[in-house]
């Protein structure tokens, strides 16, 4: 059985890149720099989330991608570059292997609460993928329902390109022969050029 602490220690030793998604905030990127008794310390490139914020983290160690949930215990923690830009995460939970190794692509819906939902391998499937909107199909009895007009995050990536997270809104919800069709409108993109390249790469890989 994989030992999360050993994996995190290996990540800290290699200063592995991490993607961090606060529950109600913008995605951030940084490095895992230290493992402490109370949790892990990340050095983030932008202002860290406030104490008490719930986050989801993605990282890859020795070629295997992992994801976990945690809470921010303290911001402004000292990090190796002598700045106070670190953040201490604790209450680590939901440790799992993440999508996106080998020939696979990353395509996930990130609801406001709960873990990521694959749009490739599970019941929820991508039907159409465009830079301005995604069309997704799911069985009518699927346990997770996105509210029309509600906000969510979407994550996409390919084996040769780092994954990125964009903001979206449920533009339309329709029923079709035992399925629900969601139309997600893209609203928040940090790097439009990189996002467009990822969309094209994912479409080519999946044939959508």
Q: What is the set of domains in the chain, with CATH numbers?
A: 4-97 (2.40.10.220), 106-206 (2.40.10.220)
CA dihedral over 49, 149, 93, 63, signed as positive or negative? negative
Model pLDDT, residue 86: 87
Model pLDDT, residue 83: 63
Model pLDDT, residue 170: 95
- Residue 133's alpha-carbon distances to 11, 87, 183, in angstroms, are 35, 34, 7
Model pLDDT, residue 141: 86
- Nearest Cα residue to 137 out of 167, 177, 169, 196: 177
pLDDT string in tens for the chain (208-residue length): 578 999 999 999 999 888 888 876 667 888 999 999 889 999 987 788 889 998 888 888 887 888 898 999 999 888 876 566 789 999 998 888 775 433 467 899 988 777 788 898 788 899 999 999 999 999 888 877 788 999 999 999 887 777 899 999 999 999 877 888 999 999 989 899 999 999 998 888 787 7
Phi-psi region of 201 (alpha: psi -120 to 50; beta: other; left: phi over 0): alpha
- Nearest Cα residue to 8 out of 43, 34, 37, 44: 34
CA dihedral 68, 158, 112, 8 (to 10 degrees): 10
- Nearest Cα residue to 114 out of 157, 174, 67, 149: 67
Residue 153's contacts (CB-CB under 8 Å, 6 or more residues apart) are 21, 27, 109, 110, 165, 166, 167, 168
Eight-state DSSP code of residue 25: S
């Amino acid at each position: 059985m994989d030992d999360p602490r050993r994996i995190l220690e290996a990540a800290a030793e290699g200063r592995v890149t991490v993607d961090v998604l606060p529950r109600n905030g913008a995605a951030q990127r940084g490095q895992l720099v230290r493992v402490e008794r109370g949790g892990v310390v990340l050095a983030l490139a932008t202002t860290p989330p406030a104490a008490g914020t719930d986050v989801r983290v993605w990282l890859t160690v020795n070629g295997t991608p992992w994801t976990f949930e945690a809470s921010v215990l303290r911001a402004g923690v000292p990090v190796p570059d002598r700045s106070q830009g670190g953040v201490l995460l604790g209450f680590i939970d939901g440790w799992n292997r993440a999508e996106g190794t080998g020939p696979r692509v990353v395509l996930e819906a990130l609801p406001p609460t709960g873990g990521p939902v694959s749009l490739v391998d599970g019941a929820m499937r991508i039907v159409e993928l465009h830079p301005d909107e995604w069309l997704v199909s799911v069985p009518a009895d699927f346990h997770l329902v996105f509210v029309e007009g509600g906000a969510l995050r979407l994550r996409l990536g390919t084996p040769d390109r780092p994954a990125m997270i964009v903001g979206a809104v449920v533009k339309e919800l329709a029923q079709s022969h035992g399925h629900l069709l969601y139309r997600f409108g893209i609203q928040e993109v940090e790097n439009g050029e990189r996002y467009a390249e990822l969309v094209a790469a994912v479409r080519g890989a999946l044939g959508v």
